[in-house]
Each structure stands twice: as structure tokens, then as C-alpha cells.
């Protein structure tokens, strides 16, 4: 595994739309492993491929230590409720904001074996789904934050 460089606000790669993964190759497995290592090393709870310069629809999320979601070509298929709270991003260091997100979010995606999976997240996991999937369309939480703060 290898730690990858996290792209920061101002890098135009963060503003691009990612392409779907059409074949889950060993390279994709390596990317998933490297993204998880990179996320953990940076003490984050989610990382999207464009944050490491790869314009593919892939995210990893670890809200609960040891429970990693690897989502390929993810899309939100249901959401409900509302939550308001703090949000930050490894690509926007030293700042955090207040956002409004759905409280329950169901995502459909492929896992690393190409199986279609559905995962429903609540609270922090629901927020992470929204945040990471937004990255795949070039969107950052600072675009929709109600307020922004410095550390
Ligand atoms: Zn982010």
C-alpha cells in the first residue's frame, strides 16, 4: 500500500466530474487500498478519488473505526430527514463549516468484487455519504455550508 498526496482547495482536479469505473481491475483494488491508507494517515473519515487526483467515481468511508465502506460508482437512491452540524474536508485543511444534510441516506454502489450493494447510513455516516459523493461531481461542502469557520 502507498500513501497518496491529498489535493487541496484551489487544485482544479477537485472541481471536475468523475467518470464511472467500467471494469474493476487490480489497479482499482490497489487504489482502494491506497485511499484507505491515505484517509487513515490523515485522520479523516472519508476520501474520494478526485482528492488524490483520480477522476473516477470511487470513495472510501470509515466513520466507525474498522468499518470501511468502499463504494464504486455510488449513487444516492433514497434520503430523508435533516441534520445540521459541523463538517470538514481533508482538501480544505484548517477550516470547518456548518452544513444541512439529510439524516438518513441510502447509497447503491458496486463493491470491490463488482457486487451491487445498498447501504443505509444515519447521522454521521449519512453526512459522509453526501460529502464524498459530492466530490465525484466536483462539489465541496464549502459550496453549501451555512457558515464557515477557521480552526
Ligand atoms: Zn471532502
pLDDT in tens, 92-104: 999 999 999 999 9
Around ion ligand 1, residues with a beta carbon closer than 5 Å are 89
Could you give the residue ranges of the DSSP H alpha helices within 2-97? 26-41
Q: Could you tell me the distance, in angstroms and rounded to a whole number, from the CA of residue 108 to the centre of ligand 1? A: 20
151's CB contacts (< 8 A; 6+ apart) are 94, 95, 96
Which cell numbers in the block locate residue 90?
481533508
Query: What is the DSSP track for 74-101?
Result: EEEEEEE--EEEEE--TTSTTEEEEEEE
| CA of residue 22 to ligand 1 center, whole Å | 24
Task: For residue range 110-150, list pLDDT tens digits in order.
Answer: 999 999 999 999 999 999 999 999 999 999 999 999 999 98
Q: Is the pTM of this model over 0.95?
A: yes
Task: Count Cβ atoms below 10 Å from residue 91 Cβ, excluding itself.
Answer: 23
Given a contact cutoff of 8 angstroms between Cβ atoms, the answer to whether 99 and 85 are in contact is yes
Closest CA to 86 of 75, 97, 95: 97
Q: Which residues are catalytic?
A: 132
Contact 100, 83 (CB under 8 A): yes
Amino acid at each position: 500500500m502507498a500513501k497518496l498526496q491529498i489535493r487541496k482547495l484551489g487544485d482544479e482536479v477537485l472541481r471536475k466530474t468523475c467518470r464511472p469505473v467500467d471494469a474493476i481491475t487490480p489497479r482499482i483494488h490497489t487504489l482502494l487500498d491506497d485511499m484507505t491508507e491515505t484517509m487513515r494517515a490523515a485522520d479523516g473519515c472519508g476520501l474520494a478519488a478526485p482528492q488524490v487526483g483520480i477522476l473516477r467515481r470511487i470513495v472510501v468511508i470509515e466513520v466507525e473505526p474498522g468499518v470501511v465502506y468502499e463504494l464504486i460508482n455510488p449513487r444516492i437512491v433514497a434520503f430523508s430527514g435533516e441534520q445540521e452540524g459541523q463538517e470538514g474536508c481533508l482538501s480544505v485543511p484548517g477550516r470547518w463549516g456548518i452544513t444541512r444534510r439529510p439524516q438518513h441516506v441510502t447509497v447503491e454502489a458496486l463493491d470491490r468484487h463488482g457486487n451491487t450493494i445498498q447501504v443505509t447510513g444515519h447521522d454521521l455516516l449519512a453526512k459522509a455519504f453526501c460529502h464524498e459523493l459530492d466530490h465525484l461531481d466536483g462539489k465541496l461542502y464549502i459550496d453549501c455550508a451555512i457558515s464557515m469557520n477557521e480552526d
